[in-house]
Structure 1
Amino acid sequence: DRHLPLVEFTYNNSYHASIKVAPYEALYGRKCRSPVCYSEVEACQLTGPELIRDMTEKIVQIKNRLLAACSRQKSYVDKRLKPLEFKVGDKLLLKIIAIVGPVAYMLELPEELKGIHSTFHVSNLKKCLAKDVVVIPIYEIQPDDMLHMIEEPVESYG
């Protein structure tokens, strides 16, 4: 906790590839003046309409940079992503009952999981390759309040 302000200062004044500038500089239009750079003096100060025009230009520039960064990140994901497609009736650990969209599937959930939304993104699904039906009682899975699975060892090999 003692170092949190320094961490925040460093983060806000570090270059971010997505916006190609530090967040502080993006917000205020100038580099942050830390004790190290108090001796530096800027040549001019912007006022009134110049300040508004300058900030508007910076906002447009940052939006364009964020769109470009988003596009780059999408291309990285698309290169590594294998297209998954399922059919109604395919077995995962649960059964697909409907195709909601190109990447969304509705699953048949057991009674114990009726509080969970039944539509899932394709990236969260994996095809069940087991030939025999394996039934795991839901009380052994024990999802907590945040729907994280709690694993408890059954026996120890040691």
Structure 2
Amino acid sequence: MGVVQFGKKGKLSPRYIGSYLITERVGKVAYGLEFPSELSKVHDVFHVSMLRHYVSDHSHVIPPQPLEINLDLTYDEEPVTILDWKDKELRNKTMRLVKVLWRNHSVEEATWETEDRMREMYSRLFYDY
């Protein structure tokens, strides 16, 4: 899978995290947020389109999982397990795909990857298949 940049682009869509206190309005469409110390390397000003209103609900509390952020504000993705298999028919061949659950992501964010590539990079996922 490789590296996914925080909040930019990549195969896996970024998730919303928070809630964080808005500390200031920066211009007409940007807001400064107050982050905890573990997010000190993340820029604290966001465009209004990146923010979501949050209604407090105690059932939404999820214990934080350690996430190692590299110096360039990226992190390495690690697959957890294979959720499903399917064959994709192309013009003159059939390609085997696997649905992969990634660490620090929910089941809804699982992605379809080619079986050959996943076997090459993460053979430990295929020990009993």
TM over 0.5: no
TM-score w.r.t. the length of structure 2 is 0.37
Please state which structure has a larger fraction of its residues in strand.
Answer: 2
